[in-house]
Structure 1
């Protein structure tokens, strides 16, 4: 049994991760200020301790790290809204970068015996670089404070690891979808918005012509990737794309989802938004090198997602 810290553990990805860690028999501590996550997402289990707290509270985080002596740390807490980062760049910077560096600094100063620290970054760091598929060594072109903070924190995490002998690793999530994705979030994934429209017979607003492509990955495949990265001793001081390596256009996704639900989606077309990335797809050669193979086709993932969404 390991002792694990998950920051942002009440969010979509974080809470699914906490579920998996509990199933694996780990003791999990969650720190989340509930600005984007929900307390109801966190499993009620004697193996889970939840602190409703911001990771920017340095005194609290220092005491927690020194007291608990974690084996593994997953850094997921973030203001994940790109628009929010543009409106409040410094405030989001304190959460998306400074708070994470502080955690690294406490580990460094006190030589905490961590087995691995994983930081969750984003495909947003690639920006509008037209090269496809995106490799981990592709040109980085962050276009917003959110993407800048994600990339800079990646570098801090990796280089702290190398300089101070801390086992660190970073992942770049592409378009993750699945149960507990919050359609009310300003940074909600497009699939949660489509799901909500199908559930409530609402009109879905599509910006652009629908030919824009994304690399969608189901949450269970993400959890598999994180497990492989955390359990492989060779996966240190590296960045890994977490995706399927397959592109799907929005129109194709809508067609598939209509088949899954046996419903038709009403679509309103509006002009493309400035700054929206048109095509995105990952090269996952590095992740496959750890033994990763996506278990979920888009159709299968959407089917599972719809069953879960229909229950709630």
Structure 2
């Protein structure tokens, strides 16, 4: 039985991680301030004897110290995501993503946790045009959010070398799946498109739709977190890994898939018109990950490609969020 702290544990990725490790028989502490997470994501876990909810903010160092006490591992998911949000409010993004991250690292060091695994980001590749994206080759960041996530990697590297704490960063590539929030100004593209199509509204694709992403289903992300905390290969720690599928899909093709899978439930969706808007500031044109390092060092093998992941996600949204 592992004792695991999951920060941001009431969020999309965090709550799925809570489910996974509780099911494995581990003891899980969820730390969340509910700025972007939701109580309903973890409601079913609150009565579980191995689950503990701690409401608090990673920007408060004492809260971080209390949360890490007696923990074996930390899965640090707490952050303010979204490139547009960081462009509109870079100060808050920096406070949470950099200062909050540093608080958690220092607390983890003091508590002598076994390993600190954190959510890094594909945005770190910035203006690098090379494809596929290889962990050791990055460009300049294109947004405040990207800067914060790169700073996380720099801090983790320094802490591993200076204090001996084991750190692993997982560069998430466009994660999607069950519980991803479709509402709000900064909603991720897949749940936002799904809800609009279910409501017979015309989704707006930013730009021509030729931009491509390595869309990654939530179960692949869970597997990478599992591999990151369980690996006994000392050569596999104190580094970063792409967390992706190793395939890319254009936004136009993504929309085709969504219309096809949703049409199985509602035939009218197939005829919904798609609107194209202006290109969004800070967006990377193309994103495709090399996952060779993760395969070699962590024995990672994606369980879902884009199609199988979308089918499961669409099924979940239809059953849980249809009006």
TM-score by length of 1: 0.94
Q: CA deviation at 1:58?
A: 1.3
Residue matched to 1:146 = 145
**Is it true that 1:113 corresponds to 2:112 in the alignment?**
yes
Give the conservation status (yes or no) of the 8 Å contact 2:84–2:281.
no
Q: CA deviation at 1:268?
A: 1.1
Residue matched to 1:274 = 281
Give the conservation status (yes or no) of the 8 Å contact 1:81–1:186.
no
Q: Which moved more, 1:218-227 or 1:87-96?
A: 87-96
Q: CA deviation at 1:309?
A: 0.6
What per-residue deviation string (whole Å, max 9, x for no partner) do you get for residues 190-243 of structure 1?
111111112211110111111111001100111111111221122210100000
Helix, strand or coil: the match of 2:203? strand
| Match runs of 1:17-28 below 5 Å | 17-28=17-28
Give the conservation status (yes or no) of the 8 Å contact 2:74–2:116.
yes
Distance in 2 (alpha carbons) for counterparts of 1:211 and 1:103: 39
Residue matched to 2:168 = 169
Give the conservation status (yes or no) of the 8 Å contact 2:58–2:103.
no
Q: Which moved more, 1:223-232 or 1:238-247?
A: 223-232
Helix, strand or coil: the match of 2:20? helix
What per-residue deviation string (whole Å, max 9, x for no partner) do you get for residues 47-77 of structure 1?
2111221111112222333xx3100101111
Q: Which runs of 5+ in 2 are unaligned?
A: 264-268
Residue matched to 1:101 = 102
CA RMSD in angstroms comes to 1.5
Give the conservation status (yes or no) of the 8 Å contact 2:75–2:225.
no
Distance in 2 (alpha carbons) for counterparts of 1:63 and 1:272: 44
Helix, strand or coil: the match of 1:95? helix
Distance in 2 (alpha carbons) for counterparts of 1:103 and 1:229: 18
Q: Which runs of 5+ in 1 are unaligned?
A: none
Distance in 2 (alpha carbons) for counterparts of 1:207 and 1:309: 23
Query: How has the CA–CA distance of structure 1 residues 293 and 57 changed in structure 2, closer, same or farther, with 3 Å as cutoff?
Result: same
Distance in 1 (alpha carbons) for counterparts of 2:204 and 2:33: 31
Q: CA deviation at 1:106?
A: 2.8
Residue matched to 1:302 = 310
TM-score by length of 2: 0.91
Structure 1 runs, 4 residues or longer, greater than 4 Å off: none
Distance in 2 (alpha carbons) for counterparts of 1:185 and 1:156: 31
Query: How has the CA–CA distance of structure 1 residues 93 and 273 changed in structure 2, closer, same or farther, with 3 Å as cutoff?
Result: closer
Residue matched to 2:31 = 31
